[in-house]
Amino acid sequence: MIVSVILIPFITGILVPVIPFQKRWQKEVFLETAVVLNSILVWYLLLHHSDSTFLLAHFTGNLNISFRVDGMSMVFAGLVSALWPFATLYAFEYMTKEEHENVFFLFYTLTYGVTLGIALAANLLTMYFFYELLTLVTVPLVMHTLTREAVLASRKYLYYSLGGAAFAFLGLIMVIVYGSTTDFILGGVLDPAKTAGKNNVLLLIYVMAFLGFGVKAAVCPFNSWLPQAGVAPTPVTALLHAVAVVKSGAFAIIRLTYYSFGTDFLQGTWAQDVVMTIVMFTIIYGCSRAVKETHLKRRLAYSTISNLSYILFGAVIMTPLGLVGALTHLVFHAVMKITSFFCAGAVMHQTDRHYVHELNGLGYKMPRVFGIFTISALALMGVPGLAGFISKWNLAGAAVESGNPLAWGGIACLLVSALLTAVYMLTIVVRAFFPGKDFDYSTVSDIRDPNWKMLLPLFVFTVCIVLFGVYSQPIVDFFMSVAEGAV
Amino acid sequence: MDFICNFPFFSILISLFSGTICSVLPAKAAKAVNRLVIAAVGLMSAVLLLYLLSTGESFIYWMGHFPAPWGNEIRAGVLEAGMALFFCVIMYLSMAGGAHKLPDEVVESKHSLYYILVNLLLSSLLALVYTNDMFTAYVFVEINTISACGLIMIRQVGRTIEAAVRYMIMSLLGSGLLLFGLCIMYDLTGHLLMSNIKESVALIMANGEYQIPLIVAVALMCIGLCIKSALFPFHAWLPDAYGYSTVSSAAILSSLVSKGYIFLLIKIIYRVIGFDIFNSTRIIDVLFVFGLMGMIFGSLSAIKENDIRRMIAFSSVAQIGYIYMGFGMGTQAGMVASIFHILSHAATKSLLFIAAIGLTDVSGGSRKFIDLTGAAYRNKWAGVAFTAGSLSMVGIPLFSGFISKLLFAQAAVQVEGKMLASLIVLGISTVLNAVYFMKTVIRIYTSEQDAPYKSITFRDRKAYTVVLVCSILLNVILGVSSQPVVDMIGQGLAMFA
Amino acid sequence: MYLILSSIFFPILAGLFLLIRYRTPLSGEKRAIDRKALTTLTGIFLLITAALVIAALLHAEEGFTLFYLTKTLPIYFRIDSVGRLFSMLAVIVLPCAGFFSFEYMKHEERESRYYGFYLLAFGVLNALCSAGNLITFYLFFELLTMTSMPLVLHSCSREAVMAGLKYLFYSLCGAYAALFGIYFLYQNCDSLAFTADGALRASSIVEHGGFLLVTAFVMLLGFGVKAGMFPMHAWLPTAHPVAPAPASAVLSAVIVKAGVLAIIRVLGMFGRDFLRGTWVQSVWISLTLVTVFMGSLLAYREPVLKKRLAYSTVSQLSYILFGLAVMQETAFTGALCHVLAHGFIKASLFLCAGAIIYKTGKTRVGELRGIGKEMPLTMWCFTIASLGLIGIPPTGGFVSKWYLALGSLKSGLPVFDVLGPVILLVSALLTAGYLLPPVIHGFFPGADYDYGSLQNKEPCRLMTVPIFILTTASVFIGLFPDSVSGIIAAAFTGR
């Protein structure tokens, strides 16, 4: 059962280029059905999960590839499987303008399986395995257009990701050698008897592994691949580079911090200070670069960089509340950022405009898209009543509660970043809706909102943003129980 | 003594004599004989391996039933048999994978000579693996050198001759040092058989006399073998030798010849000097440092390289560095990791060399990266194979490279003083590997619509493709079910003692 | 409960309705909008809203929780005396300025957008006044910025857009600084519901007292941005001149007061006793005094009328903040009196300026010679309002300044108890200096003035009546300060 949800996307993906579809809609129906079925299966699995571990294969020694559903996997797998069908729907429309569709959908669907693999992994090795695999299956997506830019971007992506994994690997080794098991157990698995006297080395390796996994989560200074990877088609940038891939990095860090090394071991050490400083710096850095950037998708990518570090900031507070904050932002940011990316994609698809200064006056022509974009912008800024406020509230609340002065500084970073978010998001909104007195409306006369395949995902996500914003209680409660290990 | 115990002797003998036979056969027949011999030897090694696993003990085989010190001994344990089997498999794959290129690379009249050299090489490798006698080892080291030189030179292009000369000089230097070491050792102990030397060495160490000459002897032998196996900084001969020889030669040289020497070194460490005594000297620290440096500098050179074959060759320097790092850790775990890496690297490197030739074939024979653009679309299987090999080198799970990395890292953690250095270098080296291998992979998958070269499909080159698939499978098998192999290595090392 | 909610949501829904119903046609060319229907509809909406607010004010209700944002964050509404006072200001100024704009906006494009956001801002302001805890307040504080920004950049000229963005970013900057404090307050208070005598837990004061002071200071600075406090006042003189005159009136009279309201709330949360005598108070008072003086000085040097009024707002708002910073009952009374007085006066002044611009197109003070002869009613109102701002009895400004000075002297603060009134006086002189010249030149253009060119430019009733009402209101406060003293006294104790 648990393996099948990983396998179905694999099989579906491989079948796409193999089956000779007569018409385009047949392929669409086939893909969408498979993806939706798989998502339903995932949700069924999550809701009826048992505590047992499913052992797929022995790897070497006492290492094995196994899967288990626990609280964290429920959050991540649930998120991914909820977003994927919509993103696929969106991709159908978007990809009408691109070539090599089959290859695209092959890898796009493979990625679904691999991401679920990361989410459902029961131990560090399995997660590491799927983590590496994720890099490999997403490279073709970045390379998709095969332009020089795309090739350079994918090259960089590969170097960074594989390089990062090399250092994350060191963390894996430490857990194998000094831990009692590699399984994920809330509170960590390090064996105090074995680690005695080796604390500093372990902490150093933790920092390295943090940065290693942090490459995918675009921690400064390893973030430059992400904006560059924006050359990929928008469904990829939206789903993978705002949700699946980058959040895998954050997810891996949470696993490493809370479930492998353990917060008791890390809290209050120099390692915590180091990673927190890095994360705080990234928060500010990402925003500042976003403000400077004039390419729409790259601007959003920088925004992602900053927001990912929000999640990591929650994670490195290393308290249950911090984990709650991190998880809240993990989920909420996914919805918010995918919305804004889809809006950007819709604009690019409908108008072929890529730069912020080209967006003047489009708000009147594409009121739905830009209306939704405005909502996502406000949510990202953290306006109360929308999802972003709740996650920021949880993050900041955790930081205050932790009593760590550095974390208090982190709150200031969050707020500065919120201000910068307002700068880079709202300038777009203002441009779109208030193009200036002498604006020539004839330049935008033949532009209109995209069709329902693009709009439906947008509407659904917008509803989610608002819903999470005003009624987040059940989901936050659930995160709390995850953080306390009750699920 | 069972009949099977004769197998090591047989296999050395068969390959030696088949070499002689090849000289009078026409090229086609020579090729058949060569394949047959490799297969036969492989089969025998496999049977031997099974036998040894079932008895669980190594045995010593007296050539001509003369006991030491007059007779010549062969020793076979799990490790030896396994190594022989593995060498045969790789050799077979390499020969089969490069066969279609041979007519282009070597003039028709030299074909039988080529097979002679290959057979000789195989026999010398087997002898290095099986021998229990230092002098026999030295003799076969020399035979190995000569046949390897021949393999490099046989292409008869200017650069290969230069490369062969360079290889010759460096190799002879190496064997010279080995001989010096051997002489001193003989002087100190009065024995040439490994087991006898070991006893005497233990005695010397216990008495505390002649320690410095002993260490000098050990050091000389080590340096000699390091030069021959191209440990950094003695790798200058390697890129040309691997880069310009024929495909099969390159694959064999990089995956087997240097490994043969390394295996001999392992044997010397365990069987001649004794693991503990060896570890108590400072030599392992030197090996460790050079290993680490090799990992970094080999990769850096590979990054700078603009020729795919030379790049793979430089990557070997880095991988040899890994192996010596394992030695340098001075623990059983480190040794296991090193031996596993010998296997994994051999499997991967031959795969890469063979895949690379498939890619250059569809790029007008050019090995420059700029010409390789999009090559993987023109030769799909070669592209896949090269990618698989690269991933293994980078250490992606499911491939053998990951397991060796895992073993190295696990071994490193257990060594107090060397842990951090080895872990960090391991990480950096992986990053560097990723840089140059992924650069190539992306290059070959970057499409260039109007490339002037013809494509090659499965139907054009069936044998070649099958070899590629087998190599990938071998790699994956090592990567997925590594536990039996690791256990076997452990068992073999236990038998050494 | 329903009265409060409807006073909030009716204008918001009405605004949204206007925005959607009269949205700009997709094709881009101007569509003839039925102007009369639009203004009538807006007028009706404004009146209904005003009625709803008044009804809500009259029927003092218990607080109620609308829903929970998270488990511990209720969206809670309660009208207390402070809120009531600010509500009163809004409910008078907003409809007046609204009716004024029906005439003023005649020639502007996209009128419907203006009215839509105007109503939205009205609703949000009502919500702000009836918010019962800090989170609810913060929610609408942010929304206020968002909904009032389109009013500022309505003309869509380049300066207007830049000014709008400047306003937006300054306000957000302040809001986020305040949010920083809210995070800490949340952890150190039992509840975020408003109170006037400190909600901090005693244990927290002992443990984190020093840090909480920093937090308080950050919050004061943050909310101070909206109230134009030095050093974050720069948005005010940029935003006011480019906005349409009625929008500037609302901005200057009511919206900036949201910052004042916020600061009153923050003071209540931390408790005056906690802050009194600390470095926070000293620094804060210094900042307000600097702002008072600097604002007047800048206004004095400013030739553009609306910009001059904007600087004047900067200065006058800090009168209010000074009164709050002294943390003494009389000064508090003065401050709240000044909220009302300044609100009415400044709205009236801006509307006068708007009327002048509308009729004559003159924006600079130097051009206003003889204007009093052309627009007598407008200029008379302008004169009375100016006298009020300077603080001449019997106008509202006199009462509030009297209490401010008195409170300051009573407070017993070192240095500031005397320095404060002195600076207030100097600033009053400067106020006279920058407001009276237009009046004098307007009515006494001098002997060489060409009286023959004079025309009757008095604007229509839609403009003069609101101005008149507002001016009257400001005088009323001065004549009958007792009418609000009860509510202010209640406000001081937090009822």
Q: Of B481, B186, B195, B139, which is closest to residue B343 (Cα–Cα)?
A: B481
Residue A417 has pLDDT above 80, yes or no: yes
Mean pLDDT on C212-217: 91
SS3 of residue C385 by DSSP? helix
β-bridge partners, C74: C68
Residue C245 has pLDDT above 80, yes or no: yes
Residue A465 has pLDDT above 70, yes or no: yes
Q: How confident is the model at residue C430 (pLDDT cuts 50, 70, 90)?
A: very high
Q: How far is residue A445 from each of residues A351, A364, A450, B247, measured CA to CA in Å?
A: 11, 10, 15, 63
* Closest Cα in chain C, distance from residue A117 (Å): 32
- Chain A meets chain C (3+ C-beta pairs below 8 A): yes
Residue B177 has pLDDT above 70, yes or no: yes
**Cα separation, B331 vs B337, whole angstroms:** 10
Mean pLDDT on A442-454: 75
Give tens-digit pLDDT for A36-55. 999 999 898 888 877 788 88
pLDDT of residue A254: 92
A50 CB-contact burial (10 Å; exposed 0-12 / middle 13-18 / buried 19+): exposed
What b/e readout covers C415-444, taking b as 16+ CB neighbours within 10 angstroms?
ebbeebbebbeebbebbbebbeebbebbbe
Residue B249 has pLDDT above 90, yes or no: no
Q: Which residues make Cβ contacts (< 8 Å) with residue B78, sequence separation at least 6?
A: B49, B52, B53, B58, B488, B491, B492, B495
pLDDT of residue A232: 81
* Closest Cα in chain A, distance from residue B397 (Å): 6
Asked if residues A135 and A110 have their Cβ atoms less than 8 Å apart, the reply is: no
Asked if residues B359 and B382 have their Cβ atoms less than 8 Å apart, the reply is: yes
Determine the distance from the C-alpha atom of residue C120 to the mean position of all C-alpha atoms in its chain, rounded to a whole number: 16
Average pLDDT, chain B: 85
Chain C residues touching A423 at Cβ < 8 A:
169
Residues in chain A, total: 487
- Could you tell me the two tokens for B434? 């990723």
Q: A380, A393, A411, A420: best mutation site toward chain C, by most C Cβ within 10 Å?
A: A393
How many CA atoms lie less than 13 Å away from C149 in the CB half-sphere?
Answer: 23
* Closest Cα in chain B, distance from residue A61 (Å): 6
ipTM score assigned to the predicted complex:
0.86
pLDDT of residue A209: 92
Interface check for B165 against chain A (CB to CB < 8 A): the answer is: no
**Cα separation, A36 vs A33, whole angstroms:** 5
C60 CB-contact burial (10 Å; exposed 0-12 / middle 13-18 / buried 19+): exposed
- Could you tell me the two tokens for B401? 């490279």
Chain B residues touching A155 at Cβ < 8 A:
438-439, 442
Nearest residue, CB atoms, C28 vs list A401, A416, A445: A445
Chain A residues touching B439 at Cβ < 8 A:
155
Q: How confident is the model at residue B451 (pLDDT cuts 50, 70, 90)?
A: low
Asked if residues A168 and A239 have their Cβ atoms less than 8 Å apart, the reply is: no
pLDDT of residue B450: 62
Mean pLDDT on A70-87: 89
Chain A residues with CB under 8 Å of a chain B CB are: 57-61, 63, 125, 128-129, 132-133, 136, 139-140, 143, 146, 151, 154-155, 158-159, 162-163, 165-167, 169-170, 173-174, 176-178, 201, 204-205, 208, 212
Mean pLDDT on A63-86: 88
pLDDT of residue C284: 92
Mean pLDDT on B400-413: 89
B258 CB-contact burial (10 Å; exposed 0-12 / middle 13-18 / buried 19+): buried
* Closest Cα in chain A, distance from residue B231 (Å): 23
**A169·B395 Cβ contact <8 A:** yes
Nearest residue, CB atoms, A418 vs list C26, C156, C176: C176
Residue C27 has pLDDT above 50, yes or no: no
What b/e readout covers A455-481, taking b as 16+ CB neighbours within 10 angstroms?
bebbebbbebbeebbbebeebbebbbe
Q: How far is residue B277 from each of residues A85, A467, B133, C416, measured CA to CA in Å?
A: 64, 71, 20, 86
Q: Which residue in chain C has the smallest CA separation from A366?
A: C26
Q: Which residue in chain C has the smallest CA separation from A473?
A: C70
**Residue A187, phi then psi, degrees to nearest 5:** 105, -10
Q: Please name the amino acid found at residue A314.
A: G
Residue B464 has pLDDT above 80, yes or no: yes
Q: Of C31, A60, C329, A371, which is closest to residue B333 (Cα–Cα)?
A: A60
Residue C28 has pLDDT above 60, yes or no: no
Determine the distance from the C-alpha atom of residue B451 to the mean position of all C-alpha atoms in its chain, rounded to a whole number: 36
Q: How confident is the model at residue C24 (pLDDT cuts 50, 70, 90)?
A: low
Long-range pairs for B417-420: beta carbons < 8 A, 24 or more residues apart:
B418/B288, B418/B328, B418/B329, B419/A201, B420/A201, B420/A204
Q: Which residue in chain A has the smallest CA separation from B430?
A: A166
Query: For residues C21 and B287, which has the higher predicted lDDT (pLDDT)?
Result: B287
**Cα separation, B403 vs B481, whole angstroms:** 10
Asked if residues C312 and C240 have their Cβ atoms less than 8 Å apart, the reply is: no
Nearest residue, CB atoms, A419 vs list C29, C157, C176: C176
Mean pLDDT on A122-126: 89
pLDDT of residue C33: 64
- Could you tell me the two tokens for B188? 């100190």
Q: How confident is the model at residue B449 (pLDDT cuts 50, 70, 90)?
A: low
**Cα separation, B445 vs A160, whole angstroms:** 19
Please name the helix (run of DSSP H) or strand (run of DSSP E) that holds residue A439, with its range, or none: none
Q: Of A358, A332, A362, which is closest to residue A433 (Cα–Cα)?
A: A362
Residue C34 has pLDDT above 80, yes or no: no
Q: Which residue in chain B has the smallest CA separation from A132?
A: B396
Give tens-digit pLDDT for B256-277. 888 889 999 988 888 888 888 8
Residue B1 has pLDDT above 70, yes or no: no
Give tens-digit pLDDT for B36-56. 888 998 998 898 888 888 888
Give tens-digit pLDDT for C294-343. 999 999 988 888 899 999 999 999 999 999 998 888 899 999 999 999 99
SS3 of residue C131 by DSSP? strand
Q: C172, C185, C207, C218: best mutation site toward chain A, by most A Cβ within 10 Å?
A: C172
* Closest Cα in chain A, distance from residue B284 (Å): 23
* Closest Cα in chain C, distance from residue A438 (Å): 8
Q: B322, B403, B430: best mutation site toward chain A, by most A Cβ within 10 Å?
A: B430
pLDDT of residue A213: 92
* Closest Cα in chain A, distance from residue C397 (Å): 37
Mean pLDDT on C63-90: 86
- Could you tell me the two tokens for B292? 């680490």
pLDDT of residue C26: 47
Give tens-digit pLDDT for C129-175. 988 889 899 989 999 998 888 888 888 888 888 888 899 999 999 99
pLDDT of residue A282: 93
Please name the helix (run of DSSP H) or strand (run of DSSP E) that holds residue B209, with its range, or none: none
- Could you tell me the two tokens for C149? 């920004």
- Could you tell me the two tokens for B167? 């290889």
Q: Of A245, A296, A1, which is closest to residue A142 (Cα–Cα)?
A: A245
**A166·B423 Cβ contact <8 A:** no
Mean pLDDT on B396-422: 87
Q: Please name the amino acid found at residue C254.
A: V
Residue B384 has pLDDT above 80, yes or no: yes
Q: How far is residue A390 from each of residues A94, A110, A244, A424, C168, measured CA to CA in Å?
A: 32, 33, 22, 21, 22
Chain A residues touching C179 at Cβ < 8 A:
382, 396, 415, 418
**Cα separation, B37 vs B47, whole angstroms:** 15
How many CA atoms lie less than 13 Å away from B245 in the CB half-sphere?
Answer: 27
pLDDT of residue A326: 93
Give tens-digit pLDDT for C358-374. 888 888 888 888 888 88
**pLDDT > 90 fraction of chain A, expressed in percent and rounded:** 24
Residue A328 has pLDDT above 80, yes or no: yes
**B396·A136 Cβ contact <8 A:** yes
**A60·B446 Cβ contact <8 A:** no
Give tens-digit pLDDT for B51-75. 888 888 888 887 766 665 666 788 8
Give tens-digit pLDDT for A226-283. 888 888 888 788 877 788 888 999 999 999 999 998 888 888 889 999 999 999 999 9
Residue A285 has pLDDT above 90, yes or no: yes
pLDDT of residue A227: 86
Subunits touching C (CB < 8 Å, at least 3 pairs)? A
Average pLDDT, chain C: 86
* Dihedral angle over CA of C150, C153, C157, C158, nearest 10: -110
pLDDT of residue B344: 92
Subunits touching A (CB < 8 Å, at least 3 pairs)? B, C
**C161·A390 Cβ contact <8 A:** no
Residue B391 has pLDDT above 60, yes or no: yes
Which residue reads 């045969």 in tokens? B88
Q: Please name the amino acid found at residue A48.
A: H
- Could you tell me the two tokens for C115? 């009215």
Q: Which residue in chain B has the smallest CA separation from A178?
A: B413
Residue B152 has pLDDT above 90, yes or no: no
* Closest Cα in chain C, distance from residue A123 (Å): 33
**Cα separation, B358 vs B350, whole angstroms:** 13
Chain A residues touching B405 at Cβ < 8 A:
169
Chain A residues touching C211 at Cβ < 8 A:
408
pLDDT of residue A252: 93
* Closest Cα in chain A, distance from residue C336 (Å): 29
